[in-house]
Amino acid sequence: MNLPAPLPPHAPLLQAEGVHLGFGGIKALSGVSLTARAGQITAVIGPNGAGKTSLFNTISGFYRPQQGRIVFAGQDITRAGAARRAALGLARTFQNVALFRGMSVLDNIKLGGHTRLAANPLTALWYLGPARREEMALRSEIEREVIDFLEIDHVRHQPVAALAYGLQKRVELARALAMRPQVLMLDEPVAGMNREETEDMARFILDIQEERGVTVLLIEHDMGLVMDIANHVVVLNFGQVIGVGTPAEVRHDPEVVRAYLGEQGAARQGQGQGQSVAA
């Protein structure tokens, strides 16, 4: 399986096609299809238990669907493992912070970049020759292109456990960025954050999309953020797609309003249109 070639802007980059996923008698996903276009932000929304994280786990290779397929840059990757998908350019963060709490910020971020190192593992074990040069180049790149970009230089040598929750979420984003992803999958990136932290994260996501051309696929319950930054929205309920479209189209879809937004929630979204959370 070769590395995918760059695609034109807004061409389909990542697709889930008719995905079915079940655990025993429980159907997590029933015929779910999704398209994330190159250089855009696609949001997956829906109530708790709708199948959003199951879909992410299927796309990233933690689960294998019983039916359907996952296509990345024209390649069928349904049977590829999670490590292979990461090497192809799929990176993700998790709903709950998944960092090594006793390690420093810098060391946590470097783990993401290690997926790109080419030195022989035995050489790397002794930290000699090519492995040492690659390690130094990786550290320089991370400090220049990731740590400075996400404004976490002041904490780079601190252990992750000493950081506030919002900064930990930013470190997890930094680790994913260190993989140089084509597609960045964010599972509830602003969950549990205050208003200021949410605005910072929204700004970083937009910068990642606009300045780096990274395609973003995100799960999020903060509808203000979704309506402000997403180009395309997919709505799940009970493992099925019940709505697809632009934020404005989804906000006024009667089935989406009934299942997820509610009449009052849809009204609040309409009133808040144009007030950017990332301002």
Q: Which range is least confidently modeled, 45-59, 116-130, 228-242, 263-277?
A: 263-277
Tell whether 107 is covered by a domain. yes
Residue 29 backbone phi and psi in degrees, to 5: -135, 135
The residue with greater pLDDT, 213 or 275, is 213
Pairing of strands 215-219, 183-187: parallel
Q: What is the pLDDT of residues 179-226, one digit of tens each?
A: 899 999 999 999 989 999 999 999 999 999 999 999 999 999 999 999
Tell whether 5 is covered by a domain. no
List strand residue ranges (DSSP E) for 154-194, in order: 183-187
For residue 61, pLDDT over 70 is answered with yes
Q: What is the pLDDT of residues 139-168, one digit of tens each?
A: 777 877 899 999 999 998 999 999 999 999
125 and 263 fall within a common domain: no
Domain containing residue 46: 10-89+181-279
Average pLDDT over residues 6-24: 85
Tell whether 153 is covered by a domain. yes
Q: Which range is least confidently modeled, 15-24, 95-104, 143-152, 208-217?
A: 95-104
Q: What is the mean pLDDT of the chain?
A: 85
Average pLDDT over residues 106-135: 64
CB under 8 Å to 118, separation ≥6 — which residues?
Answer: 130, 134
Displacement of CA 122 from its chain's centroid (Å)? 32
pTM over 0.85: no
Q: Are 144 and 60 in contact (CB under 8 A)?
A: no
Tell whether 195 is covered by a domain. yes
Q: Are 173 and 212 in contact (CB under 8 A)?
A: no
Number of domains in the chain: 2
Question: 160: helix, coil or strand?
Answer: helix
Q: Which range is least confidently modeled, 113-117, 128-132, 273-277?
A: 273-277
CB under 8 Å to 184, separation ≥6 — which residues?
Answer: 91, 92, 176, 177, 208, 214, 215, 216, 217
116 and 68 fall within a common domain: no
CB under 8 Å to 17, separation ≥6 — which residues?
Answer: 33, 68, 69, 70, 71
Pairing of strands 12-23, 67-72: antiparallel
109 and 59 fall within a common domain: no
Last residue of a domain, which of 132, 159, 179? 179
Tell whether 140 is covered by a domain. yes
For residue 269, pLDDT over 60 is answered with no
**What pLDDT, on the 0 to 100 scale, is given for residue 233?**
97
141 and 275 fall within a common domain: no
Tell whether 209 is covered by a domain. yes
